[in-house]
């Protein structure tokens, strides 16, 4: 097996949405038998939460659904040079995607596809404003907001896995 496919999830501060997506995707890739073929990490657009652990409400939501707690997570800001080392960068909102595209202009390495996370959700709205695909920030909101966030992350996770499987097939086939 060659180099693994690298996937990054990105939100604002890297303590709620993107680490939740990271944990869910790791579990889905593992369940698909792709744990060694795919590496998933997460970052934030901002450095405001740098070094902080996953939000306690996000942790509780993950654990309640049987996922690992993400206790090893520490928030990190995405750097331009990291984008060139990812095959797929999944933004939680259209604003994050625009910021990532601007950031990608500051690297000489060609970044992988930058997309909205929910673009890969087959049940997500199609043809409307980009904001309909945003995963709303649950930070400082009631636990129910974290449940909705996790619902959206889980709904798109199989689409992300399918996209990466196709990407792996193209890489393996030389395409």
* Catalytically active residues, by annotation: 11, 17, 137
CA angle 19, 84, 151 (to 5 degrees): 25
How many whole angstroms from its chain centre is CA 166? 18
- The C-alpha torsion from 49 through 57 and 59 to 76, rounded to 10°, is -10
Reduced to 3 states (helix: H, G, I; strand: E, B; else coil), residue 91 is strand
What are the residues whose beta carbons fall under 8 Å from the beta carbon of 22, sequence distance 6 or more?
9, 40, 41, 42, 70, 73
- For the chain, the helix, strand and coil percentages under 3-state DSSP, each to the nearest 5: 45, 15, 45
What pairing do the DSSP bridges indicate for beta strands 5-11 and 38-44?
parallel
């Amino acid at each position: 097996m060659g180099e693994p496919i690298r996937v990054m999830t990105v939100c604002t501060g890297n303590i709620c949405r993107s680490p939740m997506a990271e944990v869910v995707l790791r579990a889905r890739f593992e369940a698909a038998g792709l744990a060694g073929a795919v590496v998933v990490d997460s970052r934030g657009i901002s450095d405001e939460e740098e070094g902080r652990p996953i939000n306690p409400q996000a942790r509780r939501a993950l654990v309640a659904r049987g996922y690992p707690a993400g206790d090893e997570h520490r928030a990190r800001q995405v750097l331009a040079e990291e984008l060139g080392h990812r095959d797929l960068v999944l933004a939680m909102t259209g604003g994050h995607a625009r910021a990532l595209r601007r950031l990608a202009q500051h690297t000489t390495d060609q970044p992988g596809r930058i997309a909205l996370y929910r673009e890969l959700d087959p049940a997500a709205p199609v043809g409307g404003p980009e904001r309909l695909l945003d995963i709303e920030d649950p930070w400082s909101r009631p636990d129910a907001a974290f449940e909705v966030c996790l619902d959206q992350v889980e709904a798109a996770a199989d689409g992300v896995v399918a996209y990466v499987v196709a990407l792996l097939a193209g890489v393996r086939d030389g395409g």
